């Protein structure tokens, strides 16, 4: 079997079209199509549904793709292991991360990494969906919260804590809250998670967590949108502590002001995870170790005050 044909098929599936795969492989589109047809003829099955509008896997194609992805990953690992000790690390590292978790910080980190390793290229997929690292051919991922896949190799890099922020324009117009009760009189921008009711759980200097119901004037299910809404002065928002560093780095033009700084929402663990490869390519381990060091240092510097969680002591309701 011609492994080049298999690799071309896998790239077509990953890219989502013959056109995109041809561009990635630097091949004519017609050659890509003929290669996949040759593979189908050799296997005696149809792997792809082809229409003028869409491209999809057949049932046989889906099973085949899942298997060959793993095989191609192992072959790539073997090739990298054979050359890592003799040449400058080079090649592509594919990683994925939630769009809301340190995306701005990640840009600066990758710039520093590339300065040290100019022959390594990085493809980043920012997505809110769950990405299967093995089946989709990713080398590593940044993930927050609970890890359900026990087969992945995970390294904890920090905890995502949140604090209250507002734009200077909003504070000039409405003033800054001085107590939690003052939030009843303020407009808030709310990130809607699993809790249907607009409420924040904030831990104060006494270590007690309190639930505050809000007057949410804007609600969104994407944290980047919430941040941008807060920056425009719509209201007060609960944002990652790292936003403080980001705004300071942005020439203080559209920086945010932290309000009620003695209060924070203590978040979940953040991990860097990799597939269970016995010998990961050097380019992958270099990026993994670099990101572990960078994120660990950044989150250690920007974390909220370390306070212990205790049972909710008090519930504060919004005004009618």
CA distance 142 to 128: 11
Q: Are residues 198 and 275 in the same domain?
A: yes
Residue scoring higher pLDDT (145 or 285): 285
Dihedral sign, Cα of residue 241, residue 245, residue 251, residue 257 = positive
Q: Are residues 95 and 77 in the same domain?
A: no
Q: Are residues 97 and 75 in the same domain?
A: no
Name the pLDDT band for 302 (thresholds 50, 70, 90): very low
Q: What distances in angstroms separate CA 273 from CA 141, 270, 285, 287, one per listed residue? A: 5, 10, 11, 12
Q: Which domain-ending residue is among 83, 104, 132?
A: 83
Q: Which domain-ending residue is among 83, 118, 150?
A: 83
Residue scoring higher pLDDT (244 or 126): 126
CA distance 146 to 149: 9
104 Cβ neighbours under 8 A, 6+ residues apart:
246
Q: Which domain-ending residue is among 83, 116, 150?
A: 83
Q: Are residues 208 and 146 in the same domain?
A: yes
**pLDDT score for 179:** 92
Q: Are residues 133 and 111 in the same domain?
A: yes
- Total domains in the fold of the chain: 2
**pLDDT score for 134:** 76
CA atoms within 13 A on the CB side of 60: 9
Q: Are residues 119 and 52 in the same domain?
A: no
- Per the CB < 8 A criterion, the answer to whether 61 and 48 are in contact is yes
Q: Are residues 194 and 305 in the same domain?
A: yes
Question: DSSP E strands: which ranges in 177-235?
Answer: 188-191, 199-203, 209-213, 216-220
Chain center to CA of 156 = 15
Interval 226-237 mean pLDDT: 93
Q: Are residues 144 and 10 in the same domain?
A: no
Please list, residue by residue across 280-294, b when 16 or more beta carbons sit within 10 angstroms of its beta carbon and e when fewer do. Answer: bbbbbbbbbebbbeb
Task: Tell me the residue range of the domain where 75 lies.
Answer: 1-83
Q: Are residues 78 and 123 in the same domain?
A: no
Token pair for 232 = 């425009």
CA distance 247 to 227: 11
Report the residue count for the chain. 320
Q: Are residues 62 and 131 in the same domain?
A: no
pLDDT tens digits for 253-288? 347 999 999 999 877 778 888 887 656 788 998 999
Q: Are residues 177 and 147 in the same domain?
A: yes
CATH number, domain with residue 69: 1.10.10.10
Q: Which of 217-221, 251-255, 307-311, 314-318 has the highest mean pLDDT?
A: 217-221
């Amino acid at each position: 079997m011609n492994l080049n044909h298999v690799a071309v098929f896998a790239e077509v599936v990953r890219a989502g079209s013959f056109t995109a795969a041809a561009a990635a492989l630097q091949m004519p589109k017609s050659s890509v199509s003929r290669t996949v047809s040759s593979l189908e003829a050799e296997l005696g099955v149809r792997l792809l549904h082809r229409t003028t509008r869409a491209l999809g896997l057949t049932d046989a194609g889906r099973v085949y793709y899942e298997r060959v992805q793993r095989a191609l990953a192992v072959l790539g690992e073997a090739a990298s292991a054979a050359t890592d000790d003799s040449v400058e690390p080079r090649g592509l590292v594919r990683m994925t991360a939630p769009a809301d978790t340190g995306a701005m910080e990640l840009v600066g980190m990758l710039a520093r990494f590339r300065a040290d390793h100019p022959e390594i290229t990085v493809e980043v997929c920012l997505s809110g969906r769950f990405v299967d690292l093995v089946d989709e051919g990713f080398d590593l991922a940044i993930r927050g919260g609970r890890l359900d896949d026990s087969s992945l190799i995970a390294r904890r890099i920090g905890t995502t804590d949140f604090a209250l922020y507002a734009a200077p324009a909003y504070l000039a117009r409405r003033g800054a809250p001085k107590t939690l009760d003052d939030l009843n009189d303020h407009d808030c921008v709310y990130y809607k998670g699993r809790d249907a009711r607009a409420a924040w759980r904030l831990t104060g200097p006494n270590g007690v967590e309190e639930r505050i119901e809000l007057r949410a004037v804007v609600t969104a299910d994407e944290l980047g949108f919430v941040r941008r809404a807060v920056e425009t002065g719509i209201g007060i928002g609960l944002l990652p502590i790292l936003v403080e560093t980001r705004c300071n780095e942005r020439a203080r033009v559209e920086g945010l002001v932290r309000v009620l700084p003695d209060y924070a929402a203590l978040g979940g663990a953040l991990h860097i995870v990799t597939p269970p490869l016995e010998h990961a390519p050097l380019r992958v381990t270099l990026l993994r170790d670099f990101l572990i060091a960078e994120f660990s240092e950044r989150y250690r510097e920007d974390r909220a005050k370390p306070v212990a969680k205790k049972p909710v002591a008090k519930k504060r309701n919004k005004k009618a």
